[in-house]
Amino acid sequence: MPESVRPQHTELPAVTVVCSVLIMIVLVTAQVTVGGQNQDDCPRQPFIPIYLQGFVAIFFLLWLCNKCDMCNVVCYCVTAAFFFCWFIAGSIAIYSIYEPNYNKNTTQADSYCNKTLYLFAFCSTTLTYVLLGLVLLYCCCCKQQKQDDDTQTLLQA
C-alpha cells in the first residue's frame, strides 16, 4: 500500500496534552482548596481532606520527574505507584462511609462529614475512575487498530 494511502498513527495532539494539563492544574488546585478549607470538618473519616490535599504532592513529583533527566523512568514509576496507592486509599475512605450524615448538629458528632467536602471528594474520585476507564478504552482501541493495520499491511505485501 502506498505510504500516502496507509493510515497514519499519530501521537495525541499537543492541544489535547495542554488541555489535559490545564484540567489537572485546576482539579489539583480545587482539591487542595476544598481539602484545606475543610481540614477538620469530617470526623467520620478524617483522611478525606488529607487525601484531597495529597494530590498536590503527586503533581509536584511529576514536575520533579520532568526536571530530572537521568532518573526519568524510575521517577515516573515511583510516582505512578504512589498515585495508585494514594488513590486506592482515598477511594476506600470515601466509599466506605457512603453516605455520611451531613448535619453537624447531631448528637453523634463522629458521624458528621461536611457536605461540600464529601461530595467534592466523591465526585472527583468517581470522575477519575471514569476518565481512567476512558483512557484504557482508548489505549485498547488504538492497540487493536494498530494490530489490524499491521495485519493488513502483511497481507498486502
Q: Please state, in angstroms and rounded to a whole number, the distance separating the CA atoms of residues 104 and 59.
A: 33
Q: Looking at the domain assignment, is residue 138 inside a domain? A: no
Q: Which domain holds residue 86?
A: 14-128
Q: Looking at the domain assignment, is residue 157 inside a domain? A: no
Q: Please state, in angstroms and rounded to a whole number, the distance separating the CA atoms of residues 96 and 111.
A: 13
Q: Looking at the domain assignment, is residue 139 inside a domain? A: no
Q: Please state, in angstroms and rounded to a whole number, the distance separating the CA atoms of residues 120 and 117.
A: 5
Q: Looking at the domain assignment, is residue 137 inside a domain? A: no
Q: Looking at the domain assignment, is residue 144 inside a domain? A: no
What is the b/e burial string over 136-151, where b = at least 16 CB atoms within 10 angstroms of the residue's CB?
Answer: eeeeeeeeeeeeeeee
Number of domains composing the chain = 1
pLDDT per residue over 99-122, tens digit each?
898 988 867 767 899 999 999 999
Report pTM: 0.76
Stretches where the chain sits below pLDDT 70 are 1-13, 69-71, 106, 109, 144-157
